[in-house]
Structure formats: C-alpha cells, structure tokens
Amino acid sequence: MRERLKHRAAFDYYYALGDKRSLAKVARKFKVSVQSLVKWSKNFHWKERIEKRDRENAERIEKKTDQAIVKTKLEYRNDIRKSFAIVLALLGTAIEKGKLKSTLKIKSIKDIKDLIDSKEKLIKADLLLMGEPTHRFEHDLKGIAEKIRDDPEACRLATQLLEQITTGEGDAGGAGVAD
C-alpha cells in the first residue's frame, strides 16, 4: 500500500493528539475503522515516525534553549564587564599613589573595601558564567584538616562522621554527628 494524502492527514492528526493520542479518536475524525488505522499505523510506521518527530522536536527545542542560555550569559558577561570597568575607574580615582583623593565620596577605608569586594564579586560572577570555579577548596580543606588534627574532639567527630559516610549509617540528610 502506498501512503496517500488521507493517510498523512490521519497520521498528523494522530501525532497532534499528543498524550491523548488514540486510534479511536482518529477513526471518528476521519470516519474510518480502527482496524484500518491499525493497518495504516503498521504499514506507514507511525510509532517510529512519532519517536523520530519527538526526537527532532526535542533537539530543536534544546538547540533554541542552548542559544538562549548562551545569549543571556553573553549579556550578563557584558554587564559584568561594564560594571567591572566602573569599579576599576572608581578605585583608580579613589586611590592615587596610596592616598585617598577627595573627588570621590569615600568617607572611610570601608568604602574602599566595599569597592574591592564589588570587584571580587564581579570577577566571581564572570567566572561562574564561564563555567569556571570561583574558589579553590583544596586550600580550605588543608586549613580545616590542620585545625581538626590539632583538636582531639574535632578529630573524634570527624572520624565518626567519616565512618557514618563510608558505612551509610546515620541520617541521610547529613544533619550532624550524634554522640
């Protein structure tokens, strides 16, 4: 059997039904028997065509979503760069040769620190958008390990916590170490 316009129209209607898809609905709409539709479905590979179309639609949606995400990240990065330039300019005009200049409304060292903090936050936001880490945890872990090693109670609790993690005992939420 060769696929004709009525077969394609029936398939398109069947596909458009989505989750509420049924051959009975197509039979009513096109005034044909369900048995005929079963034959059409097999002969014209409706199941495979639906899977293929769903995959293609998902790929198109994914591509559009990816493009939107990239565009949004690019806009954020441009905003970050502009803000970064402003913060650098403010810092440059606020400090000249280690002295505060009076052209900027800086009343204390805290104001300078706030500008520097803003700079650091902008750098971290930019790194995050690029998918880069914003913090190096190995330095923190070394410091924590040293503190635990020097404190017997912390060492005991850390050992107990590690045992619970490795054996899967304790609460799954990781709320703490019970004595």
Q: What angle do CA 157, 162, 166 make, to 5 degrees?
A: 150
Which residue's structure tokens are 């958008």? 129
Which tens digit of pLDDT belongs to each residue from 66-92? 999 889 888 888 888 888 888 777 777
Which tens digit of pLDDT belongs to each residue from 27-51? 999 999 999 999 999 999 999 999 9
Of the pLDDT bands very low, low, confident and very high (cuts 50, 70, 90), residue 124 is confident
In which region does residue 57 sit, left (phi positive, over 0), alpha (psi from -120 to 50) or beta (all else)?
Answer: alpha
Q: Is the pTM of this model over 0.85?
A: no
CB-CB neighbours of 38 under 10 Å: 13
Q: C-alpha distances in angstroms, 15 versus 5, 31, 35, 41, 77?
A: 15, 17, 18, 11, 41
